[in-house]
Chains A and B, each alone.
Chain A
Amino acid sequence: MSLASHFSYWVTIFLMVAGLFIVIARGNLIKKLVGLAIFQTSVYLLYIAPGKLIGGTAPILAEEFKVYSSPLPHVLILTAIVVGVATLALGLALVVRIRETYGSIEEDEILAADLADGETEAGR
């Protein structure tokens, strides 16, 4: 149970926490999406790293190979990557629209504008 033998887990945990921290701590909507992407990347690593068998080949049956890596994690993560791309694209599209209507991508400025919206509505 040494540090080195769990190397991939340490990287995973670092990416996970770093990504989540950026999402929470940054007020810029684009930076939040960057954090979200990093957070999702940690999951890709969580799945992919244990799927690799050292010395194993791609799982295509052949006489000379006996040890194969599992292909399933890759397939799963390909799906997760597609989902991640779609989420990022949608998130960026929303940010573009927000920038167009609010003129800002800073969370605090947008919330202040929202508050003003709410007050004019209540005052009506």
Chain B
Amino acid sequence: MSLAPHLPALQVVLPLLTAPAAVLLRSGGAAFLLVTAAAWGAFAISLGLWQQTAGGEVISYAIGNWPPPWGIELRVDRLSAFVLVLVAGMAAVVLPYCRQSIEREIPRDQHYLFYAMFALCLTGLLGITITGDAFNIFVFLEISSLATYVLIALGRDRRALVAAYQYLIVGTIGATFIVIGIGLLYLTTGTLNLADIGTRLPQVSGERPVLAALAFLTVGICLKLALFPLHQWLPNAYTFAPSAVTAFLAATATKVSVYVLLRFYFSVFGESLVFDRLPLPGIMLLLSLAAMFVASAVAAFQDDLKRLLAYSSVAQIGYITLGLSFDSQSGLTATIVHLFNHGLTKGALFMLAGCLVAVAGGSGLARLAGIGRAMPVTAFGIVLGGLSLIGVPGTVGFVSKWYLVLAALEKGQWWLVMAIVGSSLLAVVYVWRFVEIAWFREPPAGLPADRRLPLSLQAPAWLLVAATVYFGLDASFTVGSAAAAAEQLLGMTR
């Protein structure tokens, strides 16, 4: 029996199986080993799927051997394989970091439950990306969301509870909007298979329910991906969640939502409906610009490192949706490549911030005064990540912005180029704010003398920092995959 044809199912089932197994084990250490092994296994599987789809083939897997569109189909194309690599890879890197990180933040008797929740969250995110069934997207979305609420609520600060509650309310409204949209599509077409809906939609008479479905789905998904001004849940959730959770969520959760948006726009509704006949690109452009400027400016006024980075995430999501609003091959490439690059950068930044928190005892900037002199290596890593947020050549941030600028020039819109550069200057401001506090202020007296960090905290973080530099210098994997994925997405509707 060969496993190769079953990779799509195993991609989801492997982490799914480890969640109940972790509960049965009842031991933090054993659960850690199991879930970490599963995450690395999932990463290997995702690389295998990426390789299988790199040539442009679409892998279809019929669950239970019921052929689509009747049964549930798992469907992997270049875009989903690329996102799978990001999600599984980030889980594989963040999990080794979890061990030491949650040791300091979560009571020990809850560790095995933490890993079970982490495995469920990973399962959900991988499931959303791989499934070819609309209702399945909702189910996996809720699996990952429910696990996420729990993970956020595990934070040390009591405000983590309120953050988790607020995210639960907003996230559930978003998911319910999505399921209303899917329901309207199901009522008009009579099918739930994404590809099948896509082929049947043009024959539907009476467009109003389809437009309503598009509206519900857009708003619902944009809540989930924290597009400005629907981002209110994000800063608190990222600030008060345990550091390892923040790193994983910031790198993957919103990115998977972007994937869902792309999937619905290009594979289901079709480019011509979304971009040519509706004012959607204009609205998206406006909101993206607002995110880039407003959120960056707000970030510069924050008193907490994690909250500063969270607002920066909202701004960076603006760049991702900006590329989408261009509706061109190069714009879409920029979107997909930035989705990956920003995942790497923010993962690295939040993990390094977690290292600082582990020593300083909190992420408030007042506590971190002079930390650059006390912990030069870690703080230097944060600056490297910050350079990537700004978009300095030699980092992944530059690659993304380069393709965004190319896409803007292709449209002949010079003012957009100015806007991209201008918002990058705002990023300089908030990164400089950290530099100033970390190096030009006196360290507070309360900083512990023992500032050594365990290798398992440093190695994963630096692995991601190295990746942000490596993929900034050699972008053939990221840009190559993204361009190919964009080409395939656009080819679906033309």
Instruction: Name A residues whose Cβ lies closer than 8 Å to a Cβ of B.
Output: 16, 20, 23, 29, 32-33, 36, 39-40, 43, 46-47, 50, 76, 79-80, 83, 86-87, 90-91, 94-95, 97-98, 101-102, 110, 114, 117-118, 121-122, 124
A75 to B347, CA, bound (A): 38
* Beta-carbon contact of B158 and A101 below 8 Å: yes
* Beta-carbon contact of B161 and A43 below 8 Å: no
Q: What is the chain B residue whose CB lies nearest that of A99?
A: B161
A43 to B174, CA, bound (A): 13
* Beta-carbon contact of B162 and A110 below 8 Å: yes
Classify the secondary structure of A's interface with B: helix
Q: State whether the Cβ of B176 lies closer than 8 Å to any Cβ in chain A.
A: yes
Q: Could you show 27 A-B contacts with beta carbons less than 8 Å apart? A: A23-B173, A29-B165, A32-B169, A33-B169, A36-B172, A40-B176, A43-B176, A43-B180, A46-B183, A47-B183, A79-B139, A83-B138, A87-B142, A87-B168, A87-B172, A90-B146, A91-B168, A94-B149, A94-B153, A94-B168, A97-B153, A98-B165, A101-B161, A121-B362, A121-B364, A122-B303, A122-B364
A87 to B168, CA, bound (A): 8
A98 to B135, CA, bound (A): 33
Distance to closest chain B CB from A70 (angstroms): 9
Contacts of A83 in B (CB 8 A): 138-139, 142, 146
Instruction: Name B residues whose Cβ lies closer than 8 Å to a Cβ of A.
Output: 135, 138-139, 142, 146, 149-150, 153, 157-159, 161-162, 164-165, 168-169, 172-173, 176, 179-180, 183-184, 186-187, 303, 362, 364, 366-367
Knowing that A97-B153, A124-B367 touch, tell me 5 more A-B residue pairs with CB under 8 angstroms: A43-B180, A94-B161, A94-B168, A122-B303, A124-B364
* Beta-carbon contact of A117 and B183 below 8 Å: no
Listed from nearest, the 7 A-B pairs whose CB atoms lie closest are A101-B158, A83-B142, A94-B165, A98-B161, A46-B183, A97-B161, A121-B364
Distance to closest chain A CB from B71 (angstroms): 12
* Beta-carbon contact of A36 and B169 below 8 Å: yes
A32 to B167, CA, bound (A): 13
A94 to B166, CA, bound (A): 10
A79 to B182, CA, bound (A): 14
Contacts of A20 in B (CB 8 A): 173
A86 to B117, CA, bound (A): 14
A110 to B166, CA, bound (A): 12
Q: What is the chain A residue whose CB lies nearest that of B365?
A: A122
Contacts of A40 in B (CB 8 A): 172, 176
Contacts of A43 in B (CB 8 A): 176, 179-180, 183
A102 to B164, CA, bound (A): 15
* Beta-carbon contact of B149 and A90 below 8 Å: yes
Contacts of B303 in A (CB 8 A): 118, 122
In this complex, which of B150, B179, B366, B367 has the most chain A Cβ atoms within 10 angstroms of its Cβ? B179
A87 to B147, CA, bound (A): 10
